[in-house]
């Protein structure tokens, strides 16, 4: 009698399996959803987390103000006959709500931009409600430039400028790992296989 193999084999487990047709493709990126015949995604990136710094700082200040307003003891805001504790609680809740909205805006801004290099195109999608997509065929790319400020070199972000033949340059600011993005585009133009 043969002994069954009970070891875990991760390659046998499908990565994306959904029980409902409604959720089919929900986790796919824009590039994965819009591939043409024979095309495969070779590299994907997004905006760097630096795009969220302003929103996060504003959200943090508002959250601190809101938390302070909520944590102030009721006895310290009573002045004679008037009590401001109820109004102070509402101000605290409003500050926390506005802080969450600011953080959410930064998060959505970062998440709504996708950049991908396939074996046939460079695809950039930005926006959720007002969507802007740019798709450049690899043979039509004339040049790709990277600009990194000093802080960008340290933190790993920069601006990528892609110029197509006969077209205007397309500028993509604050991209995570811009040199790697350029390298992947150059590899695909040269016909090299995907690097790991």
Give me the pLDDT at residue 19, please.
43
Is 10 a domain residue?
A: no
Q: Do 123 and 33 have their domain in common?
A: yes
Residue 43 shares a structural domain with residue 126:
yes
Number of domains in the chain: 2
pLDDT band at 29 (very low <50, low <70, confident <90, very high): confident
* 38 and 122 both lie in a single domain: yes
For residues 51 and 109, the answer to whether their CB atoms sit within 8 Å is yes
Greater confidence (196 vs 58) lies with 58
Looking at the fold, whether 174 and 94 belong to one and the same domain comes out as no
Give residue for tokens 């500050």. 95
- Domain, as residue range, for 62: 53-108
pLDDT at 8 over 80: no
Average pLDDT over every residue of 40-67: 90
List, as one string, the DSSP characters of 77-138. GEETTEE-HHHHHHHHHHHHHHHHHHHHHHHHHHHT-EEEEESSEEEEEE-SSS-EEEEEEG
Whether the pTM exceeds 0.85: the reply is: no
Alpha carbon separation from 40 to 18, 87, 140 (Å, rounded): 22, 57, 18
**Cα separation of the two ends of the chain:** 42
Mean pLDDT, the chain, as a whole number?
Answer: 81
Residue 60 has pLDDT above 90, yes or no: yes
Same domain, 71 and 167: no
Q: Residues 140, 62: one domain?
A: no
Establish if 8 belongs to a structural domain.
no
Residues 146 and 99 in one domain: no
The per-residue pLDDT for range 122-133, each reduced to its tens digit, is: 998 988 888 888
Of 173, 171, 176, the closest CA to residue 157 belongs to 176
State residue 128 phi and psi, 5-degree precision.
Answer: -115, -60
Structural domain includes residue 98: yes
**Residue 167 in domain:** yes
Return the CATH number at 161.
Answer: 2.30.29.30
Q: What is the pLDDT of residues 146-183, one digit of tens each?
A: 999 999 999 999 999 998 888 788 898 999 999 999 99
What are the φ and ψ backbone dihedral angles of 12, each rounded to 5 degrees? -85, -10
Of 91, 108, 125, which closes a domain?
108
| pLDDT tens track for 90-113 | 888 999 999 999 999 889 888 888
Please compute Rg for the chain using Cα positions: 25
């Amino acid at each position: 009698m043969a002994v069954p193999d009970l070891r875990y084999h991760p390659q046998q487990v499908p990565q994306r399996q959904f029980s409902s047709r409604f959720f089919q493709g929900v986790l796919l990126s824009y590039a994965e959803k819009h591939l043409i015949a024979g095309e495969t995604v070779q590299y994907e990136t997004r905006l760097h987390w630096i795009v969220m710094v302003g929103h996060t700082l504003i959200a943090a200040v508002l959250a601190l103000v809101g938390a302070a307003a909520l944590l102030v003891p009721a006895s310290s805001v009573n002045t004679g006959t008037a009590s401001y504790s109820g109004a102070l609680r509402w101000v605290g809740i409003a500050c926390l709500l506005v802080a969450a909205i600011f953080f959410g805006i930064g998060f959505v801004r970062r998440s709504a931009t996708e950049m991908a290099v396939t074996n046939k195109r460079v695809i950039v999608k930005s926006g959720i409600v007002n969507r802007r997509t740019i798709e450049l065929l690899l043979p039509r790319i004339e040049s790709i430039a990277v600009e990194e400020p000093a802080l960008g070199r340290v933190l790993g972000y920069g601006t990528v400028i892609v110029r197509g033949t006969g077209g205007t340059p397309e500028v993509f600011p604050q991209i995570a790992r811009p040199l790697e993005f350029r390298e992947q585009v150059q590899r695909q133009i040269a016909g090299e296989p995907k690097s790991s």
